[in-house]
Each structure stands twice: as C-alpha cells, then as structure tokens.
Amino acid sequence: MPGWEIIGKEESRALKTLFDEGGVLFAHGFNKFRKKFHVREFEKLAARKFKIKHAQAVSSGTAAIKIALLAIGVKRGDEVITQAFNFIATIEAILDIGAKPVMVNVDRTLNMSISDLKRSITKKTKAIIPVHMLGVPADMSNIMKIAKKSKIKVIEDNCEAMGAKLNKKYLCAIGDIGVVSFDFSKTITCGEGGMIYTNNTKFSKFIKEYHDHGHENNPKLARGMDSRSIYGFNYRITEMQAVVGKVQLNKMSKILKMQKQRYKELNLKLKNNFDLREVPVNSEITHDTFILFVNDEKKRKEIIKILDQKKFGTKNLPDAIKWHCSAYWDHALEIRQVKRSNKTKNLLATAIAIPISLKRSVEEYKILGKLILATTK
C-alpha cells in the first residue's frame, strides 16, 4: 500500500522545479519551451531499474493492460485467460476490446492454478494474464512453458507486486509484456498512472504509437508534421505525474525494506501456528500483505475483530472481496465464468489479509502478532 504513505517533501520539490522549468507540456516535442523531458526520464529510469529494454508510461494500469492486449494482436471474439482472485480492471481491459475473459481459479499461493490453466486453454486462447496478487509472484516458469507450447502470449499484471522477483528476475521481465500501476494504493504512486514493459521491439513500437494518437514521434519531424502508420487513442501520462514517479521510484527499495521489517514480525509470531499463504520457490516477495488461512469460523471472526479494533482492517480479504473475486462479477462476466470462480471464492472465504502499512511501527506489528497468536491458546 505504501507509496502514498511516504509522499511529500521530495515530490513537492520536484513539482515546483517542473513548474519553474516549462510546466505541463506533452511528453514529446515543444523543445523550445522546455528544459527537460520528465516522462522520458521516468521511463528510462524504470526500464533500467527492472532490467527491461522498453518502458512506456501511460495514464493507468488498466489502460496499460488494454494496450498490451492490442499490442500482441488480441481481437474481438478471442479468449483471454486470467484468474478469479484479481481486480476487475483486468476483466474490463479484456472486455473493452471485445475479447472474452476466461477465469481460472487460484491455488493456495492465491495466484493462478497451473492445473486449472492447462484445462482452460482452447483454440481461441490468444493471451494469458497471470496476476501477481498482493506481492507474490505467480508460477511464471510453468505459465511460460504452457504458453510457449500453445503459442500464446503472456501479459504479466504486476500492479500489486512491483519489485518482486522470480529466479532473480524482476517481474514484468519474464512474460512477453508486463504492466504496473501507480494509482495511490500501489507500492509506488504518482496519483494515477501505469507503465508497460517489454523486451520485444515490435510490441514496443505499437505501444508507443497507440497510446499517443498514433504519433511515431519521428525525431526528424516536428510534432505537427509527424509520421503515422496506425491510429491510436490518448492514454498519455503527464509531466507532473512523471516527476513524482521518478522520486517515488527512487524510494522503492526503502519501501520494500520497511515492509519486510513489519511482515517479518507477523511471520515470526504466526508461522508455527497458522496455515499461511504459500510462496513459490525462488521468489522474492514484496511483503505487501500478510495472508493466513483460518478454517474455523469462530476463530476467524475473532482475528478479524482484533484487526478492526486495532485499526489495521483486512484489506481485501474479506474487506473488499467483492472487488477482487470474479464469483461476484455477474455484471461483467458470462454466468459460466462466474460459476467457475466459486472454488476461488470458497478458498478466499477462509483467508484473512493483514495490510502492511508504513504508518504503523514495527513494534505495533509485533504486538499485533502476539494478539493474533493468543487466539490459538
């Protein structure tokens, strides 16, 4: 959650400098009026940080998913596989281009179940969108293997696990395309925004042009005379967001370190007495949320009560479950897809999510761990 929790002085100083040096111009062009290209700098910094060739900043994570789907050539009527523990944005991006979302259940990692994925591939499947939920990487090794065999492209929705790694590689660098979000509730934030990552130059060319009305941003031509080969839309991010994003990106390792300290206290207290969310081998998680499974209804209620009383809340399990499980999305999905998601709904009904907040001290998490442990006595 924390980007918004440690935002202030540095970001505000960066914004002031922006207004002193040219203000709110587009990402490209208008060279006479400006000293800097902040969106370009933000992209360069982000690409370097995660060791991916191309990065394109856009207006939101949802827009990022939609553009990624278009880049790999998903068309009306194609099937796109994603998962039942998720956020509605992923489904909206699929629906917005006329494709059909196919829901796969999650396993006890709370990420995409590999066996259910295998069962769900058809001749119409064009893309798989695994979502690295709440800080933990999906089983990308198996997902990539399955996708390659069936010649399907993979888009990593990494809106909730920026900074996590699998086999020493940052997420977003493993699939064909990866996306993150910078909305206020994500690891780092610039209010709203997203980034699309890819090592594929052809996809990158489409992404750069599509998000900016088809502008090729030909360096030899003025913007008004620019060349074009496709039409697109406006999913640009602003220079204001980019200056904030740059500062926040530099805070990422500090944020991840602070999350880990807090998470560790809960883990120490609870790991021997509770059934915890499973984590894939060789992964480095972001410690965004601590999740435990409690089957006993009475004990579950008792723990949730402690979390409410101590003002931690339970993030989306169960607090905002209706926005995060496709068993509740009959307003958007075919009834078959809603029903398929029941298995995930039943698993999530036994889970409790403890948000890791930087506004609460390590000591407070230590005490919380003790209180929760006491319910087992």
Ligand X SMILES: *Cc1c(COP(=O)(O)O)cnc(C)c1O
Sign of the torsion angle spanned by Cα atoms 120, 124, 127, 131: negative
Instruction: Give me the least distance between CB of 339 and ligand X, in Å please.
Output: 22
Q: Which is nearer to ligand X, 116 or 183 (CB)?
A: 183
Q: Which is nearer to ligand X, 27 or 89 (CB)?
A: 89
Q: Which is nearer to ligand X, 191 or 214 (CB)?
A: 191
Instruction: Give me the least distance between CB of 225 and ligand X, in Å please.
Output: 33
Instruction: Give me the least distance between CB of 86 and ligand X, in Å please.
Output: 6
Sequence letter at residue 172: C
Comparing every residue's Cβ against ligand X, the nearest one is 61
Nearest to 81 by CA among 91, 70, 73, 89: 91
Sequence letter at residue 176: D
Instruction: Give me the least distance between CB of 157 and ligand X, in Å please.
Output: 5
**Angle at alpha carbon of residue 48, lines to 182 and 93, rounded to 5°:** 35
| Residues that bind ligand X in the complex, under the rule CB under 6 A | 60-62, 86-87, 89-90, 131, 157, 159-160, 181, 183, 194
Q: Which is nearer to ligand X, 83 or 120 (CB)?
A: 83
Strand pairing report for 165-166 and 283-284:
antiparallel
Instruction: Give me the least distance between CB of 207 and ligand X, in Å please.
Output: 16
Q: Which is nearer to ligand X, 285 or 303 (CB)?
A: 285
3 state SS of 200: coil
d(Cα 258, Cα 243) in Å, to the nearest integer? 23
Q: Which is nearer to ligand X, 62 or 289 (CB)?
A: 62
**Contact in structure between 3 and 290 (CB atoms under 8 Å):** no
Q: What is the CA radius of gyration of the chain?
A: 21
Estimate to the nearest angstrom the gap between the alpha carbon of 232 and the chain centroid: 24
**Contact in structure between 193 and 237 (CB atoms under 8 Å):** yes
Instruction: Give me the least distance between CB of 189 and ligand X, in Å please.
Output: 9
